[in-house]
């Protein structure tokens, strides 16, 4: 005999979830996409810029193309939606100034485009669609544990993420939750260190480790009585000192060494 409880349980396990991940071809986005693909009743839409098997090719900076993607998206078959933006470059700014700044806003144009414009192009129409269709959505963005310090050598990145933070706080609603995962240096599947070619990676976390640490929080967001959350995820480094991000002369020397420029000038605009 099927009881009410059995029926309720069946309905709950049959609920379909949609997870949209931008930047799913590598690094953090790929690691989360791999995890969500292993979950039952979960449809993963992984998006990237290039043409890759199993992924949707979409240029997030092409606003009409992103609007069209959202227009075609049928969210009614899903119980809830997670949207994760795992796109956004960072560059070292040795003179504390943006490498490229055609609009003169003090933020590097490429950093702003990938971290802010690309994110908003997708988030705004998607959130509007979930509002119209009365579907719950959790919007996930990935910041840095250093953002609160606004380190001048990557000020474009921190300022871009702080714009995203303000936006995420502003959009919370009955159906909208948002979370920022603040991470330390995180390696992709190829242990890519970008410009910090000489860095000691003993205490860097892998994207897979980040997923393992954070997934309990992400999966529990629906039950949380709070619509905005930020959590730091890093590998504990016993050598980390309180002044790491605030002692700027020391930090500069550390990064100069990590980037292989000891005693030399660091060129502007190196990706980190
Ligand atoms: N890794 C870290 O240490 C670290 C630290 C702090 C914060 N974060 C944040 O974590 C997130 C992921 O970082 P990540 O280093 O793993 O990834 P990433 O290198 O910034 O992003 C790579 C992904 O973004 C896609 N992409 C780039 N431009 C695009 C566009 N215009 N349209 C569509 N897709 C585009 C790439 O697609 P293609 O492969 O097709 O080019 C690729 O899938 C970012 O938001 C970053 O700011 C990372």
pLDDT at residue 11 is higher than 70: no
The whole-number average pLDDT for the span 120-134 is 98
**What is the Å distance from ligand 1's center to 132 Cα?**
29
**What is the Å distance from ligand 1's center to 193 Cα?**
13
Which tokens go with 244?
């790491």
**Residue 228: beta bridge partners?**
178
* Tens digits of residue pLDDT in 229-244: 999 999 999 999 999 9
Q: Residue 6: what pLDDT?
A: 46
Best substitution site from 20, 24, 27, 115 to test ligand 1's pocket, by max atoms within 8 Å of Cβ? 27
Contacts by 229-232, CB closer than 8 A, 24 or more apart? 229/177, 229/178, 229/179, 229/180, 230/143, 230/165, 230/179, 230/180, 230/181, 230/182, 231/179, 231/180, 231/181, 231/182, 232/145, 232/182, 232/183, 232/184
* Helices and strands, counts by H and E, the chain: 8, 11
* Tens digits of residue pLDDT in 199-228: 999 999 999 999 999 999 999 998 888 999
Domains of the chain in start order, with CATH, are: 9-271 (3.40.50.720)
DSSP 8-class letter at 173: B
**What is the Å distance from ligand 1's center to 9 Cα?**
38
Higher pLDDT, 101 or 9: 101
**What is the Å distance from ligand 1's center to 23 Cα?**
5
* Tens digits of residue pLDDT in 84-114: 999 999 999 999 999 999 999 999 999 999 9
Supply the residue whose CA is at minimum distance from atom 17 of ligand 1.
87
In ligand 1, the atom with minimum distance to the C-alpha of 26 is 43
């Amino acid at each position: 005999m099927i009881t009410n409880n059995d029926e309720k349980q069946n309905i709950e396990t049959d609920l379909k979830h949609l997870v949209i991940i931008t930047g799913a071809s590598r690094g953090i986005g790929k690691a989360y996409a791999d995890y969500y693909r292993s979950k039952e009743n979960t449809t993963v839409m992984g998006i990237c810029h290039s043409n890759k098997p199993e992924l949707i090719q979409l240029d997030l900076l092409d606003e009409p193309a992103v609007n069209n993607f959202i227009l075609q998206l049928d969210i009614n078959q899903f119980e809830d939606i997670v949207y994760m933006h795992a796109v956004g470059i960072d560059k070292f700014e040795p003179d504390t100034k943006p490498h490229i700044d055609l609009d003169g806003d003090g933020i590097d144009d490429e950093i702003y485009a990938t971290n802010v414009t690309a994110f908003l192009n997708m988030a705004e129409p998607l959130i509007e669609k979930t509002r119209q269709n009365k579907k719950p959505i959790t919007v996930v963005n990935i910041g840095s544990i250093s953002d609160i310090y606004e380190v001048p050598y990557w000020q474009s990145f921190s300022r871009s993420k702080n714009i995203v933070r303000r936006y995420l706080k502003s959009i919370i609603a009955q159906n909208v939750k948002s979370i920022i995962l603040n991470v330390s240096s995180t390696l992709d599947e190829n242990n890519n260190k970008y410009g910090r070619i000489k860095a000691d990676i003993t205490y860097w976390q892998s994207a897979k480790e980040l997923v393992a640490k954070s997934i309990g929080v992400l999966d529990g967001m629906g039950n949380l009585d709070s619509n905005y959350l930020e959590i730091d995820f890093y590998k504990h480094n016993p050598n980390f000192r309180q002044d790491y991000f605030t002692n700027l002369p020391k930090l500069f020397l550390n990064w100069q060494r990590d980037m292989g420029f000891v005693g030399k000038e660091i060129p502007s605009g190196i990706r980190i």
